[in-house]
């Protein structure tokens, strides 16, 4: 009987497409573990190329470069007592697979091809990869290890096949992105695997931001009794050594090897809390989006004195540092003194740079340019006008921000939230301008909750100040776009708590109008005319959302990869 194993869980932050970076990162973690006499280092799904690679893997040259990278890594194991498991796209007999590869003794010793290819939500693997057809344990240092890849764990077939063929331990490599309540689902499915197969499980996930997706890490070891024994850090890279011994005897009559059980004392460091996770996801998502896309000069934010731009600025400072955050205040004739005061207070608290640019001259110029044309229809652009004139103000601000972005190389962060994006309460080419929409998947009510959370919580990796960063004046003020005198959001929209309840039903729960009126899944029903109006707004705004910047996915149905409704859509059910 083999003596047991020391297995390192390597939770890393790969950069999609940047093979040189990823190979160097893997090399560094491998040697750090090898120095500690580790037998095996386990990395995450498709770590060679980063996850998700999307259509990069349809490029033969890219896939060939990934294979060359794997062979380079295999070579460094020659003469070493330490092996590694990595994920990579792998071509085999003219078929492309999502593969887990065992590298040891200078070569690729074993391969496993992912069988369950996800094709829902943000996942699109069936158009990229062929499914594997069989699962059997791989031999390593006298032990039979059962490899799985991410979605394989969510179904019983692969784990059962491995257990029936005498696997002593399940090892699942993952690219599992964060969303609300996702950790609970992972643990539930892992428990089902371990208890039904009477095998312990190693679960290794990646961490970091990739476009809309953010990966929270939270790798773990689960016992054959379905209990977490070891957890890795949330929202950070981590490398943890686990010690495994052979336990004789098994419910599985096929196995003659016994089972591998983890000898380590409990290491439970994570407790999922929604607001904490949301804030950390936004910080990590912005940091990686800016750095991985070369926006090292920082970000630009249009500050209005409202809650959305204030929270965006606070997150940006925590993610990138105050020197990297540049605020721009663009008052109009309708801007209240409170907005001036609240912006000044926010900028002082966060310690960021601010430029103030009045848009009044631009408004007058557009009035002179368009007055003759608009007056033909009985309108007078020199007066208050209608939504057209309101949108011109917003678009002037967007143009100024994009001009400063061009001049200084800073990334513009748009500040709209999910409530506004849902119903189209946003100006295309105006306040929707930007390269990254940080609050895109946060409902307005959650924006307030998250701002209060930040005022009362401070984590050691935040780069902003501790304590209250968003003033009571901002938190208590009625939301307003300030595009006309005495304007508030509730002039056009229902109260946000009511609006958000309807939107969650329509978007996350896919509820019908009848269900929302009846109160199905809600504390109480909503008026039919209001539900019908909100559903119509949601449909009409699809063309705007299709042109919006990417933003961090937090919920189960984020706009973008998750929700793909047609713009031309006559359905009214």
Active-site residue set: 45, 114, 150
Is residue 211 left, alpha or beta, with left meaning phi > 0 and alpha meaning psi from -120 to 50?
left
The span from the CA of 86 to the CA of 67, in Å, is: 12
The set of residues, in sequence order, having a beta carbon less than 8 Å from that of 139 and lying 6+ positions away, is 110, 145
DSSP H or E stretch at residue 391 = helix 387-408
Q: Is 298 left (phi over 0), alpha (psi -120 to 50) or beta?
A: left
Planar angle of CA 384, 390, 394, nearest 5 degrees:
145
Residue 373, burial from CB neighbour count under 10 angstroms (0-12, 13-18, 19+): exposed
Which residue spans within 47-189 are E strands per DSSP? Answer: 83-92, 95-104, 107-113, 138-140, 143-149, 169-174
Q: Please choose, from the candidates 247, 243, 248, 246, the residue with its C-alpha nearest in 3D space to the C-alpha of residue 264.
A: 243
**Coil, strand or helix at 102:** strand
Token pair listed for 464? 């902003």
Q: Backbone phi, then psi, for 465, in 5-degree steps?
A: -75, 155
- Specify whether the backbone of 278 is left (phi greater than 0), alpha (psi in -120 to 50) or beta: alpha
Closest to 451 measured CA to CA, from 472, 465, 434: 472
What are the DSSP calls for 295-356, one per residue? -TT-EEEEE-SSHHHHHHHHHHHHHH-GGGEEEEE---TT--HHHHHHHHHHHHHHT-EEEE
Give 546's contacts (C-beta < 8 A, 6+ positions apart): 567
Distance of alpha carbon 175 from its chain centroid, rounded?
11
The strands making up 201-205's β-sheet, listed across from edge to edge, are 138-140, 143-149, 169-174, 201-205, 220-222, 228-231
Q: Which residues contact 192 (CB under 8 A, 6 or more apart)?
A: 156, 226
Which two structure tokens, joined as six digits, stand for 226?
A: 């379905």
- If you ran DSSP here, which 8-state letter would residue 223 be given? -
- As a whole number of Å, the end-to-end CA separation of the chain is 64
């Amino acid at each position: 009987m083999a003596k047991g194993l020391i297995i390192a869980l390597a939770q890393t932050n790969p950069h999609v497409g940047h093979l040189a970076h990823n190979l160097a990162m893997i090399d560094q973690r491998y040697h750090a573990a090898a120095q500690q006499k580790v037998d095996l280092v386990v990395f995450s799904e498709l770590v060679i190329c980063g996850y998700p690679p999307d259509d990069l893997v349809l490029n033969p040259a890219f896939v060939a470069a990934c294979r060359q990278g794997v062979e380079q890594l295999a070579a460094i194991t020659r003469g070493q007592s330490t092996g590694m498991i990595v994920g990579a796209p792998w071509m085999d007999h003219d078929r492309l697979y999502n593969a887990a590869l065992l590298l040891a003794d200078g070569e690729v010793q074993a391969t496993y091809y992912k069988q369950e290819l996800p094709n829902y939500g943000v996942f699109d693997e069936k158009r990229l990869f062929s499914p594997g057809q069989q699962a059997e344990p791989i031999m390593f240092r006298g032990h039979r290890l059962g490899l799985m890849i991410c979605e394989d764990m969510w179904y019983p077939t692969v784990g059962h096949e491995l257990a029936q063929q005498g696997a002593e331990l399940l090892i699942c490599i993952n690219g599992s992105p964060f969303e609300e309540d996702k950790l609970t689902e992972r643990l539930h499915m892992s428990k089902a695997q371990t208890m039904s197969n009477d095998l312990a499980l190693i679960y290794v996930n990646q961490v970091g931001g990739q476009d809309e997706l953010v990966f929270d890490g939270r790798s773990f070891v689960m016992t054959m009794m379905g209990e977490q024994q070891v957890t890795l850090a949330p929202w950070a890279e981590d490398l943890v050594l686990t010690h495994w011994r052979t336990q004789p005897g098994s419910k599985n009559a096929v196995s003659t090897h016994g089972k591998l059980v983890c000898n380590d004392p409990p290491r439970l460091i994570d407790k999922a809390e929604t607001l904490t996770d949301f804030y950390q996801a936004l910080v990590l998502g912005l940091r990686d989006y800016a750095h991985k896309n070369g926006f090292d000069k920082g970000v630009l934010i249009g500050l209005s004195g409202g809650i959305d731009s204030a929270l965006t600025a606070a997150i940006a400072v925590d993610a990138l540092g105050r020197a990297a955050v540049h605020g721009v205040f663009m008052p109009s004739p309708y801007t209240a003194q409170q907005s001036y005061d609240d912006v000044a207070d926010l900028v002082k608290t966060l310690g960021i740079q601010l430029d103030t640019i009045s848009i009044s001259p631009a408004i007058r110029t557009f009035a002179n340019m368009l007055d003759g044309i608009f007056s033909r229809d009985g309108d007078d652009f020199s007066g208050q006008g209608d939504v057209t004139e309101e949108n011109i103000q917003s678009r002037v601000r967007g143009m100024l921000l994009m001009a400063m972005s061009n001049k200084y190389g800073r990334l513009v962060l748009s500040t709209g939230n999910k409530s506004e994006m849902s119903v189209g309460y946003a100006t295309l080419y105006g306040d929707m301008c930007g390269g990254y929409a940080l609050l895109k998947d946060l409902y307005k009510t959650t924006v307030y909750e998250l701002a209060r959370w930040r005022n009362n919580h401070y984590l050691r990796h935040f780069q902003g100040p501790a304590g209250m960063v968003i003033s009571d004046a901002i938190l208590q003020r009625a939301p307003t776009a300030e595009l006309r005198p005495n304007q508030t959001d509730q002039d056009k929209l229902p109260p946000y708590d009511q609006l958000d309840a309807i939107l969650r039903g329509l978007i996350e729960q896919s509820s019908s109008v009848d269900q929302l009126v009846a109160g199905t899944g809600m504390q109480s029903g909503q008026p039919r005319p209001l539900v019908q109006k909100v559903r119509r707004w949601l449909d009409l705004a699809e063309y705007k959302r299709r042109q919006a910047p990417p933003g961090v996915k937090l919920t189960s149905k984020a706009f973008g990869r998750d929700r793909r409704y047609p713009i031309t859509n006559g359905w009214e059910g």
